[in-house]
Amino acid sequence: MPLTDFFARKPEFEIFALETADLPQAAAIHKSRFTHAWSDGELHSLLIQDTVFGFIARQNNAYTRPFITQPFVGGFVLSRVAAGEAEILTIGVDPRFSRLGLGWRLMRAALREARDQAAEAVFLEVDETNAAAIALYRKLGFAKVGERRAYYQGVNGVKTGALVMRLDLG
């Protein structure tokens, strides 16, 4: 294989069920994207709950020799279903792979699983200043159903509100 191919190879991603072995990489993505990072231990304590599930975008065209490169993890989503309602607990995409459709694909996988688990609606909370996430959720059909004032505290101490959004799966 020519060296130029090696460097030019564009990662392609596939969506898999999130497993405990993936959590260190999921935690690294969470840390890179959120002010209040969740450790892999915290993610683990969620994922082992019967009501919680997740998905991960993993590179499917990495070179097989691990000393050369490891497959990239592009992002992950964590969700919970209980009593006919689902909740998106968190979603994060590695900034290197932003705007490639991974957030969309991860959310679609979570929504499909929620529907399979008999959820009739999905809820989430999002920072009112998070334009990218709000645009993603609106594109998926979520609508604002509530607001929580001064809900999030940023690194600079400035508090921002949360939007509560809902998608009907019925």
Q: Which is nearer to ligand COA, 100 or 119 (CB)?
A: 100
DSSP 3-state of 23: helix
Encoded tokens for 27: 């935690």
Q: Characterise 99 by phi-psi region: left (phi > 0), alpha (psi -120 to 50), beta (else).
A: left
Residue window 6-35: x/- pattern of binding to ligand COA, with contact defined by CB under 6 A: ---------------------------x--
Binding of residue 160 to ligand COA (CB under 6 A): no
In the complex, least distance from residue 34 CB atom to ligand COA, rounded to whole angstroms: 6
What burial class does residue 169 get, using C-beta atoms within 10 Å of its C-beta: 0-12 exposed, 13-18 middle, 19+ buried?
Answer: middle
Residue window 131-150: x/- pattern of binding to ligand COA, with contact defined by CB under 6 A: xxx-xx--x-----------
In the complex, least distance from residue 57 CB atom to ligand COA, rounded to whole angstroms: 8
Q: Which of 85, 117, 123, 130 binds ligand COA (CB under 6 A)?
A: 130
Q: Which residues inside 31-90 make contact with ligand COA, applying CB under 6 A?
A: 33
H or E stretch including 54?
Answer: strand 52-59
| Residue position matching structure tokens 């609106």 | 138
Alpha carbons 122 and 143: distance in angstroms, whole number: 11
Q: Which of 36, 96, 99, 159 binds ligand COA (CB under 6 A)?
A: 99
